[in-house]
A and B are shown apart, each in its own frame.
Chain A
Amino acid sequence: MGYSSDYMPWVGAVPEKDGQLVIAGFTGHGMPLILLAAKGIAKMLREESAFEETGIPRIFKPTMERLLTKKNDILDGLAKL
């Protein structure tokens, strides 16, 4: 599975990489999310829609903040055991 370090998928434009999109990191929960996530990202690709016009939940948006944070919830969960 592709686990996301903040448990949220990455669905949208790759930050600071013009022309690149990503739909990945579903943390073992792809089944309930993939159909509409893919529909949203396809709209971005085909219609050049902004992320905000796709209906994709805001928390899935790839951002530099998400990329730069050192926080890793996967490993933090480990520490709690």
Chain B
Amino acid sequence: MYATNAYTAGIAPQFAHKIVPVRGICSHIVTPKDKPSPLLPNTYSIRYGPAHYDYLIPRPDGSIVVGGAKQDFWHDKSWWYGVTDDSKLIEPAKHYFDGLMQRQFVGWDDTEAYTENVWTGSKKFNSPTMG
């Protein structure tokens, strides 16, 4: 049984370009201890256009996990399509999350929210054909 997700084509070549490794980028945004962040009671999908959106998850401590940033790199396949190197960030997108909360949400202007961490990782790709 192949339970190898992105790597399946490496051992079952008929799946080449059928199951494709895709690299994503995600971040953790926090505020300084003396600057509590506004309450966001939901997870969010911030949509910019077809196939372009950020997905955002507030954490119990008020910090934010947000990923996506496709506007900065999706047009260039070499950053993500067929890419299995999880040790490297998607360079053009690594500062995308800086100031995102201040840009996209009301009430974050004075929070001094900053990007505490950025990593290569899993992201949600909301296929229009499947919920």
Contact = CB atoms under 8 A, between A and B. Distances in A.
Contacts, number: 109
A7 B130 contact: yes
Contacts of B14: 14, 67
B103 interface: no
A28 B2 contact: no
State the main secondary structure of chain B at its contact with A.
Answer: loop
Category for how many chain B residues contact A: 20 to 34
Interface in B13-49: 14-15, 17-24
A78 B74 contact: yes
B102 interface: no
A27 B77 contact: no
Contacts of B123: 1, 28
Which interface class (under 10, 10 to 19, 20 to 34, 35 or more) fits A? 20 to 34
Interface of A: 1-5, 7-8, 10, 14, 17, 20-30, 41, 45, 66-67, 72, 74-75, 77-78, 80-81
